[in-house]
Chains A and B, each alone.
Chain A
Amino acid sequence: MQTYEGGRYDVIVVGAGHAGSEAALASARLGQRTLVLAISLDLVAFMFCNPSIGGPAKGHVVREIDALGGEMGRHIDETYVQMRMLNTGKGPAVRALRAQADKHLYSLRMKAKLEAAPNLTLRQAMVTDLLVEDGRVSGVVTRTGAVYRAKAVVLTTGTYLGGRILIGELAYDSGPNHTQPATELAERLRALGFRMMRFQTSTPPRIDGETIDYDRLEEQPGDPEPEFFSYETTAPRPEPQLSCWLTYTRPETHAVIAANLVRSPLASGAIQSVGPRYCPSIEDKIVRFHDKPRHQIFLEPEGRGTREVYVQGMSTSLPEDVQIQVLRSMPGLERAEMMRPGYAIEYDALDPTELWPSLMTKRIEGLFTAGQLNGTSGYEEAAGQGLLAGINAARYVEGKPPVVLGRDQAYIGVMIDDLVTKGVDEPYRLLTSRAEYRLLLRHDNADLRLTPLGYEIGLISEARYRRFLDKVRQIEAERERLLTVRLRPDAETNARLAEAGLPPLENALTLSDLLRRPDVTYDALARLFPPPEPLPKAVREQVEIQIKYEGYIAKLLKDVEKQHKLEHKRLSPSLDYGAVYGLSTEGREKLMKVRPLTIGQAARIPGVTPADIAALIVHLEGRRTIEVGRHG
């Protein structure tokens, strides 16, 4: 293949899915000349699996992306067909927003945003080679012979990398949804010495919504007064929301599947790659949970401009004819027309311990990776990494230090730390239970946690930052008021309390003391003792949570403070672990592989013991002492 010089850029993003789009927009918005290369320009930010964004932990990530100046939050706010707040009764930390998306609109509009972004060039091309000079990435080569040069490259290859689709007995090389797989690039990464893993995932069939018997299904409408992902969105979409629908598998369904297990590569063992536990195929569910009499199946519209409906809960690699039988065995789907079959897909992923916490590879400088390539699953997980990879690629080009989020700061920080410190042995999904400081990483306070950082990075505009500061001031002022206004247990106060159905006071109390009572809400309190001016809902909610859960928040902050002491003890990326006295064999091996950047990170590596950490600290302090001795 004859090559030609395609052009020079600061940053090249390979892939334009959920990770690639965020990475490209961040890099371009930070002023870097950015090239995006995608295998198909018709599938920018395409939802190859469920038409939905958010939910516990994932929705938190979307808000974090928004607070840092990324796109996903406002984008889904522009393209949702349904919005629901989940876990409303389970506590402030775990409330989470989830949207059903118009997947085609989502994709089209994201493409339009990439096209319109200054500094950003969008091209359709399959990258087949990486150019590496002196251990640094210097560009990419496409299948059609273009050579693009850049100082940094972000790989977001999704399930295209070494992709192979399986439907029953049928198997063929393919990217997601029967697209071109990236085969040469997979080989190139292996040749560069990267440790690769073979992962697998699957998607359910889509059916024609006109052939569903909705009368027999349970309806799940959206919230009448929806909230939004972006802190900047103020009004709902004008169109009415679409509903999802719930049906169940029946004994007949299970019988059909059981009779055809041998024809499923997922269940028969024909697929050796590792699939996610949290997203089992329907055949896997029947085998592993054979006692369960029925499984939930959610029917989700894929958008306003299509009749296709996503059959959530029925991911499968069963043959096409069996899929049809399975579908028609369920209430409401007796006459369902399957428009596309579900399929399983195997793909190549990188062992994420190959990465620094900046998401740059340790092996090749200037090469960043994000999304499924790093062993994760999920649009939100991909977008969160994409945003950070884009930011850090841009900062790398500018010679600035990378942005690394702490575990106490963001779910994105928890995720990246888990990936690069512990590695993965199955596709990684964020769960709120992975966060040790869950009550700090709330959905409602992502802006308070991250907007100042987004502003400092350069992705939050002046105007937005000023609005943010106003909100902070309102929160502070109202908190101050509640903490200082004291109520006396006099007749007048008690009469007012009685009117609101609250027990009388026995001692003098501040308004905040009153708010801490389980039966007192902020709104009830504010009706009795209103603030000088009415406050927006987000401010009221924030004040209420901060005061009500103060004790627990303070307890966690104390843990965070302890942890920070360990995170502030930095380790050199080039530390010679062979020269550290007293490490165990396993500890030394693990440390050499991960090369942690802080003592805190080192302590989280599985197989590194407290005695190893003691040895590391002694080594560090010893060197410092010697250096201080030399210089002073």
Chain B
Amino acid sequence: MFIEETIAAVVTPLGEGGVAIIRVSGSEAIRVAEPLFRGRRPLSGLKSHTLAYGHVVDPESGAVIDEALVAVMRAPRSFTREDVVEIHVHGGVLVAKTVLSLVLRQGARLAEPGEFTLRAFLNGRIDLAQAEATIDVIRAKSEAALKAGARALQGAFGAQVRALKAGLLRLTAEIEVHIDYPEHDAPEATYVRIVEGLTDARASLESLMRAAAQGSVLRDGVETAIVGLPNAGKSSLLNAMLRSERAIVTDVPGTTRDLIEAPFVLGGIPLLLVDTAGIRETADVVEAIGVQRTREILERAALVLVVLDGSRPLTAEDASLLHAVRGRTAVVVVNKADLEVTVREDDVRSLAPSLPIVFVSAKTRSGFEALEAAVLSVLGFDAAARPETLVTANARHLELIRRAHAALDEALAAAREALPYDVILIDLRRALGALGEILGEDVRDDVIKEIFANFCLGK
């Protein structure tokens, strides 16, 4: 902390409001944000203190994440008196987090709680009284973050990080012991063993990263649109689902998901209604596909539930709706299964060949298990990765996991080239350090403890 690295964070409260702002501050801010932005001109060419319209893209895949307004504020005329880039995106949690993780991948470090304000103070932007007030904020925030982190560490995530760390620690000690005790008679860690150990550790890290990505779905929710013609039963379906499970408390520091954002949980997964302010609108209004608003809603949603009225034959509007969600992460929900069902599964399938189709009755609450299973399945949770087994990591954890992974990559490359032990250990210990940081432990002492705990040494 407090060294002149470029830092980034989502500075608007997650999950509230219509706009999320990702702030990047530091001498590298523009370089870091540049590859993410597609606009009329590059960020480096923007005038200070102007807003530019464009899109945020994933620089690796080129995929568009969201449309965005981006502001560049050059030092010293910014809040921190450093170069600052602010990226304004739509307020959804997932979009904001995705943009943040892209920024971090470009080399920024996740800001510590209160760090922007602290920089503002250190650079003479605010006075001591304000800064002292900031200290309280920093402390409160770090305690909240600590608590949130501690909760995460109690679960499957913590267990996996601890196991991974233990494995790496063993490997490190196996190598270190022969460095500090060259004559020790334990078998020497061979390159084959080191490469094997590193490969295993990297694989576990990767599965942890995957699980954490799915886990963040658990924590942050899946942006979900419920679409269907009027009277298809969207509201009653929603109401039925709302009754089925209590609102959940999430891991995002300081936020308890209230009814606005994540009230409904399906199969253990919180679903966030897209355009929450307009639930009723979303639920009731979609009269004609092709309406700009509906298209936008569909575009933003990560999951679409298409509700059909099972008691009536398919209409042209139903057909164009189904056509519009082809290839999307979607489930077709045929409602009113308590009445005489006239919609034929084959007809639906011919319009949306790859989507699961479930028959439910909001009224009698039948078919909900099938709906849950279908939702889990389209979201990629199979039997081996049920939500309750998944890990929930926060942004800080994810950044550290990425750092550990990058370090292991380098250690592995060095080991494959049979570079000397001390060189391999540089990156191995970096990886260990990152995992230790997740757990809040000083790894340097751990390595020494591990050596003396496992090897009988002495002069």
Q: Are B131 and A618 in contact (CB under 8 A)?
A: yes
One of A433, A518, A622 near B180 (C-beta < 8 A): A433
In the assembled complex, B459 has its CB within 8 A of some CB on chain A: yes
In the assembled complex, B345 has its CB within 8 A of some CB on chain A: no
In the assembled complex, B403 has its CB within 8 A of some CB on chain A: no
Q: Are B180 and A439 in contact (CB under 8 A)?
A: no
The residues of A that contact B456 with a CB separation of less than 8 Å are 280, 285, 288-289, 292, 295
The residues of B that contact A324 with a CB separation of less than 8 Å are none
In the assembled complex, A279 has its CB within 8 A of some CB on chain B: yes
> Interface stretch among B49-57, B89-97, B280-288, B446-454?
B446-454
In the assembled complex, B267 has its CB within 8 A of some CB on chain A: no
Task: Give the shortest distance, in Å, between A632 (CB) and chain B (any CB).
Answer: 13
Complex Cα distance A432/B172, Å?
A: 13
In the assembled complex, A610 has its CB within 8 A of some CB on chain B: yes
Interface footprint category on A: 35 or more
Q: A609-B142, A617-B122 are in contact. Are A518 and B135 (CB under 8 A)?
A: no
Q: A57-B180, A280-B456 are in contact. Are A581 and B426 (CB under 8 A)?
A: no
In the assembled complex, B442 has its CB within 8 A of some CB on chain A: yes
Residues of chain B from 71 to 128 with CB closer than 8 A to chain A in the complex: 112-114, 118, 121-122, 124, 127-128
> Interface stretch among A141-149, A189-197, A498-506, A549-557?
A549-557
A-B contact count, CB below 8 Å?
149
Task: Give the shortest distance, in Å, between B387 (CB) and chain A (any CB).
Answer: 33
Size of the B side of the interface (Cβ < 8 Å), in residues, is: 50
Q: Are B448 and A434 in contact (CB under 8 A)?
A: yes
One of A96, A312, A315, A433 near B176 (C-beta < 8 A): A433
Q: Are A432 and B121 in contact (CB under 8 A)?
A: no
The residues of B that contact A552 with a CB separation of less than 8 Å are 423, 426
Q: Are A56 and B179 in contact (CB under 8 A)?
A: yes
One of A50, A55, A312, A431 near B182 (C-beta < 8 A): A55
Nearest CB to that of A426 among chain B residues?
B452
Q: A285-B456, A582-B132 are in contact. Are A614 and B179 (CB under 8 A)?
A: no
Task: Give the shortest distance, in Å, between B100 (CB) and chain A (any CB).
Answer: 20
Q: Are A610 and B423 in contact (CB under 8 A)?
A: no
Task: Give the shortest distance, in Å, between A1 (CB) and chain B (any CB).
Answer: 41
Q: Are A90 and B112 in contact (CB under 8 A)?
A: no
Task: Give the shortest distance, in Å, between A290 (CB) and chain B (any CB).
Answer: 10
The residues of A that contact B180 with a CB separation of less than 8 Å are 56-57, 431-433
In the assembled complex, B386 has its CB within 8 A of some CB on chain A: no
One of B118, B122, B421, B459 near A91 (C-beta < 8 A): B421
Complex Cα distance A609/B421, Å?
A: 33
Task: Give the shortest distance, in Å, between A379 (CB) and chain B (any CB).
Answer: 12
The residues of B that contact A93 with a CB separation of less than 8 Å are 420, 422-423
The residues of B that contact A626 with a CB separation of less than 8 Å are 128
Complex Cα distance A606/B176, Å?
A: 24
Q: A90-B421, A433-B447, A552-B423 are in contact. Are A610 and B112 (CB under 8 A)?
A: yes
Q: Are B3 and A432 in contact (CB under 8 A)?
A: no
Task: Give the shortest distance, in Å, between A415 (CB) and chain B (any CB).
Answer: 13
Residue-wise, chain A 609-624 has the 8 Å CB interface mask toward B (1 for contact) of: 1110111011001100
Q: Which residues of B contact A (CB under 8 A)?
A: 1-5, 112-114, 118, 121-122, 124, 127-128, 131-132, 134-136, 138-139, 142, 176, 178-185, 417-423, 425-426, 442, 444, 447-448, 451-452, 456-459
- In the assembled complex, 8 residue pairs joining A and B whose CB atoms fall closer than 8 Å, in A order, are A90-B179, A96-B182, A280-B458, A315-B458, A433-B451, A566-B3, A582-B132, A584-B139
